[in-house]
Amino acid sequence: MWNSLQDSRKKTEERKIAALFEDANRATDFSIQTDGLLLDYSKTNLDTDQRAALIALTKDVGPRRDAMFRGEKINETEGRAVLHTALRQLEGSTTDATLVVDGTDILAEVREVYDRMRVFAHHIRSGAWQGEGGRVTDVVNIGIGGSDLGPAMAVLALAPYADGPKCHFVSNVDGADLQDTLQGLNPKTTLIVVASKTFTTQETMMNAHTALQWMQGECIDPMRQFVAISSALDQTKVFGIADENVFGFGNWIGGRYSVWGPIGLSLMLAIGPGGFADFLKGGLAMDQHFSSAPPEQNMPVLLALVGLWHHKFCGYATRAVIPYEHRLRRLPAYLQQLEMESNGKGVGLDGKSLLHGGGPVVWGEPGTNGQHAFFQLLHQGCDVVPVEFLIGAKGHEVDLTHHHEALVANCLAQSEALLRGRTLGKARNMLKDNVSDGDVNRLASHRVFSGNRPSITLAYPKLSPFVLGQIIALYEHRVFVEGVVLGLNSFDQWGVELGKELASEFIPAVAGKSSPENTTASTQSLLDYVHGHRNG
């Protein structure tokens, strides 16, 4: 199937996407709707036969998806189940529903922690729980990667629903991040949430210790204002956080899939338990769609297949995610971890090099800002980059509907422009009245757009907690489908380990307390440079 898809692509490489719209049903046939979401993938160079061939690649997806939902250990390289979906199941199941992993009913565990989170959030938001200086005004989430990107992205995205304390996020080990965040905050009314699955991550622990020192200067009992979210209860004890202030979660929730559970505490504090429940319901709705819709009507499956088509058969090495929603400006960063930490692999489940390679590079920025930065390359550059647009039919700013109209217009215009392009003839016509005949040709060629550049658009009614839940679960399942088709494990991340190990080795060297072993001359000379300037 793979080879015949390659042949098919070769034969249709020169085809114009615009020509595919001669089929009057193209827009509806190449789009999917579920629970108010619309995924339009008609502006791609994909025809019905090619789509059917792509769908044939997904024969293992159904069984593996069901195994995931059942709690089987599909994360084979770590011997773990993959059950972030269980976190949203709470909003759709009765209290006697069970899901047993290793002899333990994990739904009961999840429910217990979820209930504690809700009570805690209620107490913080109502002022029933107070800091040394009174009601909690600010929450600082200290975490990195999956313990930061999910809640940080979601708190920003759902700002119109925020009616709790102000949430801040510190992730970088660069002291500037912590310093700039704590500046102006009152330690006596600040709650510190240390979010780390392992509770050993260097950046997070360093930031947590420094935040503790900051509080120690002002508070009598600073540890009371510390909360931990972690799977490592032994480590949270060592740090000194009381057990009742620890929200635990099982190792069957991967970091980049963890926003739905305790790692989402800061989101729950910001928008309240009701809003958080709606977020889970959105994720659950997508789970149900993913589990039940036939492949050709299955949004995560088609999203994954279009991505595979572009990356593996058309040879486009990267894809751009462009949300036309300013509050989704951290979505590209969130998706970079979700997609690239999951599928940025070279080895398959069988331990052998992947036959067709791993997932693509994902990048992006919100529209319209990106238009005035890198869209030049998207329209006229030599590398084709498929674009994934996201757009809401409605904005939240009821007095600024004209802004939203302009936003939607820009989003639609960009996907049309990418597809249509501009011919030399048109460019010449535009110039001919103002430019001498001699210059027309030379100048017109700069104004030509090849067009025929693919894009997809995900449209949603309005960015609510439910819709955000749908979108995030959609992308999670897309990553899953892509991983299954490529034959890799989307749920480990061994690739981040070596850099972590070397960083620990280099810390004493940077501090001038040791000399690193087996270091290249390049790194040694950079160290010498740093030492020279630090001591200068």
Please give the residue whose beta carbon sits closest to ligand F6P in the complex: 255
Q: Which CB sits closer to ligand F6P, 188 or 345?
A: 345
Candidate list 5, 99, 144, 418; residue touching ligand F6P; CB under 6 A:
144
Binding segment for ligand F6P among 138-146, 285-293, 372-380, 432-440 (CB under 6 A)?
A: 138-146
Residue 75's closest CA among 493, 498, 496?
493
Q: Please state the φ and ψ torsions of residue 455, each to the nearest 5 degrees.
A: -150, 160
Q: How many residues interact with ligand F6P (rule CB under 6 A)?
A: 14
Q: Confirm if 267 and 276 have CB atoms less than 8 A apart.
A: yes
CB of 195 to ligand F6P, least distance (A): 7
The two most distant CA atoms of the chain are separated, in Å, by 82
Q: Considering 76, 432, 500, 505, which one is annotated as catalytic? A: 500
CB of 491 to ligand F6P, least distance (A): 10
**Which residues touch 295 (CB under 8 Å, ≥6 apart)?**
55, 58, 61, 301, 302
C-alpha distances (whole Å) from 171 to each of 42, 140, 205, 437 are: 39, 10, 10, 58
Q: Which CB sits closer to ligand F6P, 143 or 370?
A: 143
Q: Considering 372, 446, 513, 533, which one is annotated as catalytic? A: 372
Question: DSSP of 173-215, one letter per residue?
Answer: SSHHHHHHHHTT--GGGEEEEEE-SSS--HHHHHHHHHHHHHH
CB of 411 to ligand F6P, least distance (A): 31
150 binds ligand F6P (CB under 6 A): no
Active site includes 500? Answer: yes
251 binds ligand F6P (CB under 6 A): no
Candidate list 50, 336, 470, 493; residue touching ligand F6P; CB under 6 A:
493
For ligand F6P, what does the binding mask look like between residues 453 and 492, x meaning CB under 6 A?
----------------------------------------
Active site includes 281? Answer: no
Strand partners, 105: 100
d(C-alpha 390, C-alpha 186), whole Å: 38
- Considering only residues 163-202, where is the footprint of ligand F6P by CB under 6 A? 196-198, 201
d(C-alpha 391, C-alpha 368), whole Å: 11
C-alpha distances (whole Å) from 260 to each of 86, 214, 347 are: 9, 30, 29
CB of 192 to ligand F6P, least distance (A): 15
d(C-alpha 453, C-alpha 47), whole Å: 15
Candidate list 85, 147, 181, 236; residue touching ligand F6P; CB under 6 A:
147
Active site includes 166? Answer: no
The number of beta carbons lying within 10 Å of the beta carbon of residue 403 is 12
**Which residues touch 374 (CB under 8 Å, ≥6 apart)?**
320, 365
Burial class (CB in 10 A: 0-12, 13-18, 19+), 499: exposed
283 binds ligand F6P (CB under 6 A): no
CB of 341 to ligand F6P, least distance (A): 6
236 binds ligand F6P (CB under 6 A): no
The alpha carbon torsion through 372, 461, 456, 359 (nearest 10 deg) reads 90
**77 upstream amide cis, omega within 30 of 0:** no
238 binds ligand F6P (CB under 6 A): no
Candidate list 146, 273, 366, 469; residue touching ligand F6P; CB under 6 A:
146
255 binds ligand F6P (CB under 6 A): yes
Question: Which structure tokens are listed for 444?
Answer: 């017109």
Q: Which CB sits closer to ligand F6P, 173 or 305?
A: 173
Q: Considering 203, 325, 339, 341, which one is annotated as catalytic? A: 341
Candidate list 41, 65, 101, 145; residue touching ligand F6P; CB under 6 A:
145
User: Half-sphere exposure (CA, 13 Å, Cβ side) for 41?
Assistant: 24
Q: Confirm if 343 and 358 have CB atoms less than 8 A apart.
A: yes
d(C-alpha 493, C-alpha 139), whole Å: 29
256 binds ligand F6P (CB under 6 A): yes
CB of 256 to ligand F6P, least distance (A): 5
| H helical segments located in 57-161 | 61-70, 84-89, 106-126, 149-157
For ligand F6P, what does the binding mask look like between residues 70 and 109, x meaning CB under 6 A?
----------------------------------------
Q: Which CB sits closer to ligand F6P, 247 or 324?
A: 247
CB of 235 to ligand F6P, least distance (A): 10
Strand partners, 190: 138
51 binds ligand F6P (CB under 6 A): no
Q: Which CB sits closer to ligand F6P, 144 or 378?
A: 144
* Contact set with ligand F6P (CB under 6 A): 144-147, 196-198, 201, 204, 255-256, 341, 493, 496
Q: Which residues are tagged catalytic?
A: 341, 372, 500
